[in-house]
């Protein structure tokens, strides 16, 4: 059965309700009920049953279940790290002892660099970068909104721009499926036309170095500094060794100690070693499971094994040093896992909504209607805008690429459009929705790792994403005429 215009209403409802009510849980539940009402042919009891089944079926997917387990375990591991004083120790190491980070700008650039280096997988990047940067953000008065923006903008964009990362072979596979020769070469060339992702990564660094915030982000940053009792200039310019920065770090340590029941003193190794183990074990398993090719490896399982390795190290090291007993470590693990319950529920509902939109044929309807507007002169521009709209509505970059590549690439061939430019436009448009949609999985995970509210993150990041998308549109329009 074709649902036509009705197929887009659940996603529209989810986005509007999330932004208006500032309650993502309510928005997702309402959209699921509405969509299942259509699927049940307006039978209320069948609507409720269908909604329940759709949520339960999320766990039928090994990938979705693995990501949920990853989120839960990460919550447990980082609660253990906080209780052990790892975050406090790391902050002291970076700020007070080594003088590596002396200002808010330095802390922001440091976060950006971590995100750039952890490029293999977007999920891995947002969780690691957000977790490492969180204590520094708190010490230097960086708002959760600003930190989440930096973390999010160096996650999926980098994994799309780096050809050896997760998205490279994924995109090349769709190019090859359309009978286009040299798919890997076309994918690599397409990177240079992925203007949105390029602007997103470099734009963040530029705004940081220029010390320029605007719109909701500027208001959020100002409100956060007032809440922390810090002045704008002090948080930006105070160098390491000054009393103000030391006092800020010490206050952060005391607050974290009170929150976790740990001691004020902390050791950086209780953060660095678990993270190092997590990365090493995860990468090693991905390499092993892929038969020597990381692109074919099982990233989710690798990350689960890596987190478990980090937790085991913490439990053993703290028990041996008699700092925290084994029983208390286990209690801390489960407490941290429990703290992730709200995020996990939102993630499950977001996955269920994705399945719902697939059942309704939302993507096919949108692409079928809007594809008629494309003509050769503005093909790439419209392709980019169409992909942005679809990814924003569905909250998935990988899914959007899977839908749009088979539709747009054959049309590009028939119109003799430059294939790499189309590939770059589709990949960039898919990431736009990944950045701006409140129902995107990396949006939710970026907020989880940085302690930011989902709706606040979307509202503060959206103006920047729109600026980058606008610049990309101008370039696609110009190149569409010239090439």
432 located within any domain: no
What are 426-458's pLDDT values in tens digits?
A: 999 989 988 888 878 788 888 888 888 888 999
Two tokens, residue 220: 């959020």
178 located within any domain: no
Query: CA–CA separation, 446 vs 124, rounded Å?
Result: 10
Tell me which of 239-243, 292-296, 449-453 is least confident.
239-243
442 located within any domain: no
136 located within any domain: yes
pLDDT band at 243 (very low <50, low <70, confident <90, very high): very low
298 located within any domain: yes
DSSP assignment of 120-159, as one string?
S-HHHHHHHHHHHHHHHHHHHT--HHHHHHHHHHTTHHHH
Is residue 125 pLDDT above 80, yes or no? no
Within 10 A of 281 (CB to CB), how many other CB atoms are there? 19
Two tokens, residue 139: 């010490």
Is residue 162 pLDDT above 60, yes or no? yes
Query: CA–CA separation, 352 vs 360, rounded Å?
Result: 12
Tell me which of 212-226, 256-270, 334-348 is least confident.
256-270
Counted domains in the chain: 1
Q: Which residues contact 19 (CB under 8 A, 6 or more apart)?
A: 438, 455, 458, 459
Q: Pick the residue with more confidence: 158 or 208?
A: 208
Two tokens, residue 151: 């973390």
Query: CA–CA separation, 436 vs 452, rounded Å?
Result: 15
106 located within any domain: yes
Q: Pick the residue with more confidence: 39 or 113?
A: 39
Q: What residue has token string 């996955």?
A: 351
Structural domain span for residue 284: 62-166+214-342
Two tokens, residue 438: 């409140």
199 located within any domain: no
Is residue 256 pLDDT above 60, yes or no? no
pLDDT band at 375 (very low <50, low <70, confident <90, very high): low
152 located within any domain: yes
């Amino acid at each position: 059965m074709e649902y036509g215009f009705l197929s887009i209403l659940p996603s529209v409802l989810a986005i509007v309700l999330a932004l208006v009510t500032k309650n993502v849980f309510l928005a997702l539940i309402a959209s699921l009920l509405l969509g299942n009402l259509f699927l049940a042919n307006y039978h209320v009891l069948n609507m409720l049953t269908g909604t329940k089944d759709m949520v339960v079926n999320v766990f039928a997917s090994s990938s979705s279940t693995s990501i949920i387990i990853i989120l839960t375990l990460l919550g447990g591991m980082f609660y253990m790290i906080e209780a052990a004083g790892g975050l406090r120790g790391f902050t002291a190491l970076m700020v007070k002892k080594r003088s590596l980070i002396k200002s808010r700008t330095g802390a922001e650039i440091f976060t950006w660099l971590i995100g750039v280096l952890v490029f293999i997988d977007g999920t891995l990047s947002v969780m690691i970068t957000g977790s490492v940067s969180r204590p520094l953000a708190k010490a230097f008065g960086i708002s959760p909104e600003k930190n989440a923006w930096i973390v999010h903008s160096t996650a999926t964009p980098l994994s799309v721009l780096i050809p050896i990362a997760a998205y490279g072979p994924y995109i090349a596979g769709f190019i090859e499926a359309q009978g286009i020769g040299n798919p890997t070469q076309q994918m690599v060339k397409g990177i240079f036309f992925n203007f949105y992702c390029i602007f997103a990564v470099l734009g963040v660094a530029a705004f940081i170095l220029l010390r320029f915030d605007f719109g909701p982000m500027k208001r959020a940053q100002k409100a956060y500094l007032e809440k922390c009792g810090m002045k704008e200039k002090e948080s930006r310019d105070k160098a390491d060794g000054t009393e103000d920065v030391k006092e800020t770090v010490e206050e952060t340590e005391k607050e974290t100690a009170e929150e976790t029941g740990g001691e004020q003193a902390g050791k950086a190794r209780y953060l660095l070693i678990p993270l190092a183990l997590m990365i090493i074990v995860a990468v090693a398993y991905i390499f092993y499971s892929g038969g020597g090719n990381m692109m074919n490896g099982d990233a989710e399982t690798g990350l689960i094994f890596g987190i478990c390795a980090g937790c085991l190290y913490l439990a053993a090291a703290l028990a041996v040093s008699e700092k925290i007993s084994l029983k208390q470590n286990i209690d801390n693990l489960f407490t941290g896992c429990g703290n992730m319950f709200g995020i996990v529920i939102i993630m499950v509902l977001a996955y269920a909504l994705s399945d719902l939109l697939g059942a309704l044929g939302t993507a096919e309807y949108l692409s079928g209607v809007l594809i008629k507007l494309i003509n050769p002169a503005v093909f790439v521009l419209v392709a980019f805008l169409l992909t942005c709209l679809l990814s924003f509505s569905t909250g998935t970059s990988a899914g959007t690429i899977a839908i749009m590549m088979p539709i747009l690439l054959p049309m590009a061939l028939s119109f003799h459009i430059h294939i790499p430019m189309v590939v770059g436009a589709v990949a960039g448009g898919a990431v736009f929705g990944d950045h701006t949609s409140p129902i995107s999985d990396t949006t939710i995970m970026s907020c989880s790792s940085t302690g930011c509210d989902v709706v606040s993150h979307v509202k503060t990041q959206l103006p920047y994403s729109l600026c980058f998308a606008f610049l990309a549109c101008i370039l696609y329009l110009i190149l569409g005429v010239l090439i």
